[in-house]
Structure 1
């Protein structure tokens, strides 16, 4: 095995087959570069063939650099190769004078049914392996405010056995079926947004984000997404007459359609617009011959307080919880000193 930096072209070719997250795509790399991040592409090869790879970001912080890998490394999971990647990543971080490294793997900790009942045992062995490798475990997070970098909790619908609109509708609960029919009866229209309409997308998603307490993006971000992902992204707007009442952002990543962001105007909630938008997006996923529809983020709370989860449950699916966040400090004494100074200065 060999650990090395690879070109973006090599990463692009590998990610085309292996990535499971939009965060580990060349399109996201281009966006991050525009936003001031330094990027590198790391890989483990065996006999010159890439087996595992990752897009790693670097940003300057007081005293050094902060490195991050979000939902990577990618590749067919093999614990031996993964462990080797982490061991070499630690050396890489030291050589590049990094102050902190954060890794958020795209590895499941647990899988639950739609109501939050566990379907399998917790993946404690992976966490133990990471600790043995010298990484600090920052734990798993619950709540939208705590999931700032990646969605650790995801709601997913399997489309592999669904072949047409009739079987798709049949997979919903009665509330979703009723609201889809209501929206159609109310002459609600769902269509792709143009580049010039992205301000409406930003407005609708931003309003919902404030109410639900989850992070949203600015207009520039949506414009960059639109340009970067091309045919692999859809911005859908839902209209009642001339009024935009709901919006969503959907990205194709390999065989999955990801519902990245969404929002709606609550004043028009009784028209069923958000239900028809989701139904339309899933029809588009079927047209693209995708086998998974990922509703993406939920809070991880199953006490009835998560309205976003309640909405997504209408369509049927299951829940995954990722293993969470790990850190490594190549210069631990320096890191502690800098953190102490920041605390004294009131910056933490």
Structure 2
């Protein structure tokens, strides 16, 4: 561990101090590791929930300019306070001296609070992978080694969804696309088709207001029941809205069933006219076989339209004229847009509302000049068709992005006695 040996050098180059909200947000916006979880808005949300105490620990240079930092959330564990840095710190882990100074600052801050430890989940790429999970480059073992040399304990490389922070994320690079149509062409064949089906099925995407968050919560509840996970309560989403403001967008994809019905009624009339025309032309046709084939197709189209019309009327009677079919929470940051949370109504799966939301939000990124779209978590399992996360993976793969494998969790002991007791207790539980 190098905290002591580098102390003189660190003191000359940088010093640590608490950062203001504005300073921290400016640092996050400019940092290659920046993200919505390392912002003052995230700090406000955690504080207003009352679930944790927070601190903005920073490093400043000789001009008092912040050059690294972290939002630390302290929660009460069985053996005492434990610090957490979600998708941080904002620090170049390849700069050993800077990482040393950041580690020292975090250690000192946590020690003053009487914390047992500080855990972090750096938002650095350990290994970039293809959409199918194949390595696309070399693993960043230097980053892991730099943390470990400073006394951080690495939790290892696991698969599955993280209980606190996802280690596997799916990303699409939007640079090079000039329009939504260009973007659409980059998707897989099925996903392109699904975007068009949604567009032709009267699916409209809009932002929800705060007093409509119950709609968002309800849709997420539908998915949580189906996929067997615990949905967050409504108060959590209200807290996100209040803390992040315009940087959190709760989007809904609604099906306007009146519009959908009218569309199929128009198609029915068109198909019926074509069937009548072909039927009238059949007796005098020189090529009756060809006409019969076209007539059969026209009649099938009429039957299909009749079925769609009956289905639409039934849905309107049961669910109303406008039905929220999918919803998503999107977090804006200067570096990326994150698809953070979502849900959908399986009864309307064939309208492809979730696909419509994704295409809409990526299109909005292009309008803002933002080139990184973060689909967020996947399980990291690519070779098991029965994996519970398979459906999520295949949905995201349809947009033709790539995978980032993050390094995962590191824990820095602060009170070694209590940290040892906690580790011993955890070992007993696992046995």
Out of 35, 43, 46, which is 2:58 matched to? 43
Are 2:59 and 2:66, in contact at CA under 8 Å, matched by a contact in 1?
Answer: yes
Q: SS where residue 57 of structure 2 aligns?
A: strand
Distance 1:230-1:174 versus aligned 2 partners, 3 A rule = same
1:56 to 63, 72, 76: 72
The runs of 5 or more residues in structure 1 that have no matched partner are none
Q: Does 1:292 align with 2:368?
A: no
Tell me, yes or no, if structure 1 residue 3 matches structure 2 residue 16: yes
Matches of 2:219 and 2:237 in 1, distance apart? Answer: 12
Call closer, same or farther: CA 1:175–1:82 in 2, change over 3 Å: same
**For residues 241-288 of structure 1, what are the alpha-carbon distances to aligned partners after superposition, in whole Å with 9 as ceiling and x for unaligned?**
311110001111103111111111111111111111111111111122
- Structure 1 residues 138 and 232, CA, compared in 2 at 3 Å: closer, same or farther? same
The reply to whether residue 29 of structure 1 matches residue 43 of structure 2 is: yes
Q: Of 324, 346, 353, which aligns to 1:273? A: 353
Give the alignment's TM-score, normalised by structure 1. Answer: 0.92
Structure 1 residues 214 and 74, CA gap change in structure 2 (3 angstroms): farther
The question of whether the paired residues in 2 share the 8 Å contact of 1:148 and 1:215 is answered with: no
Q: For residues 281 and 341 of structure 1, what CA distance do their matches in structure 2 show?
A: 45
For residue 62 of structure 1, report the CA deviation from its aligned partner.
3.6
Instruction: Work out the CA distance in 2 between the residues paired with 1:84 and 1:291.
Output: 32
Displacement of 1:64: 2.7
1:110–1:277 CA distance, 2 compared to 1 (3 A): same
- In the TM superposition, residue 318 of structure 1 has moved relative to its aligned partner by 0.6
Is 1:335 the equivalent of 2:419?
yes
**Over aligned residue pairs, what C-alpha RMSD do you find?**
2.3
Mapping for residues 85-96 of structure 1, pairs under 5 Å: 85-96=102-113
Aligned match of 1:71: 87
Kindly tell me: are residues 316 and 214 of structure 1, through their superposed partners in 2, closer, same or farther at Cα, counting changes over 3 Å? farther
Q: Does structure 1 residue 177 correspond to structure 2 residue 261?
A: no
Matched, 1:313 2:329: no
TM-score (norm 2): 0.75
SS of match in other structure, 2:181: helix
- Report how many aligned residue pairs link the two structures: 345
Greater helix proportion: 2
Separation of aligned partners in 1, 2:427 and 2:407: 29
More displaced, 304-313 or 199-208? 199-208
Match of 2:168 among 131, 153, 170: 153
When structure 1 is superposed on structure 2, of 201-210 and 98-107 the one drifting more is 201-210
| Structure 2: stretches of 5+ with no match in the other structure | 1-13, 257-321
Partner in structure 1 of residue 214 of structure 2: 199
Contact 2:57 2:109 in 1 (8 A): no
